[in-house]
Structure 1
Amino acid sequence: MPFSILEAQDFNESPFSLLERGMLLTVRDGARINTMTVGWGGLGRIWGKNAVYATVRPERHSFSLLEKADSFSFSALPPGREMDDLISYLGRVSGRDEDKIQKSGLTLAFEEGVPYFEEADTVFICRTMAVPRLREEDFLPGMRIMEDWYDGGLHHVFIGEILKILKAGSK
């Protein structure tokens, strides 16, 4: 799918709709590439920069790659049942256990060395700016975050400056 570079001020999709579909965070550390589904994240501005953030648990295979890499992509596949099934598969299966990118049938592409998928309709190419860690003591009293959401390690928040927005079929 041909992509055009979209200026941030021209991006007019709802970040809530994109995240509800599930975004793919794809990272490369040398020859190793992995992708994972992100449902907890967002788009916005921080420190004067357009940014994305994605929460990743240390137990995830992508976490170790993200720690070593300085960039990643945050991509949305077009809506539809087939893509929904792919997003579910990529979130359910670990790249530690199988080559899920190859099995998915998605086509890897690269922008300035950062991997993403040709089948995506929106791609954010990002440089990691910060990785704060969520801590149990930081949750406000009365919040049921720990009871309702956690049975393992707490997420780290990967904050990435948006370097480019690629949009399929746009001019």
Structure 2
Amino acid sequence: MTIQDAQGATAPAAPAVHLRTVTFAHPDAVALNDRVQLEYAERYGDEGDVTFLDPSMFEPPRGLYVIAYDENGTPLATGGWRSMDADGEGYSDGDAELKRMYVTPEARGLGLARRILAVLEQDARDAGRTRMVLETGTKQPEAISLYTSTGYTPAPSKFGHYRFDDLSLCYEKPL
């Protein structure tokens, strides 16, 4: 299945790039997730993000996982959302959590993260979710810039696996 850009996307369209819904266990998703984990390890000097992610968490209608491909079928960027509700980790009923947003170094600057983010936000909204939340880190200034420039604000309290980590930042945006 190919996804069209969400209405209102403000980033310029990258030529010959299309977004496709895939499973979290898809080989391209696994490969991109391995790459983002390596980047986390390089930036933070540890094993990367150890948040447990079951592939079924990203299956519609309770989630979605998307990959951007170039005209040759090369995966360039990825991201997903999963439904989260009130629990002991600080989430609220109606939350959609953004996970594994990543753009390969060679595709950065093409607006792919903004395109994927717009699609994920619209899909979560259509699924009845009321707030998009995310965790990022202090050593990811590109991510912080993306999120703050698209309407995300610091969450009033931290949530998720890294809620007690000083390097963790939590953001939210009403859907």
Tell me which interval the TM-score lies in, with the shorter structure as reference length: under 0.3
Structure showing greater Rg: 1
Answer 1 or 2: which has greater strand percent.
1
Q: TM-score, normalised by structure 1?
A: 0.27
Q: Which has the higher contact order (CA 8 A, sep 6+)?
A: 1
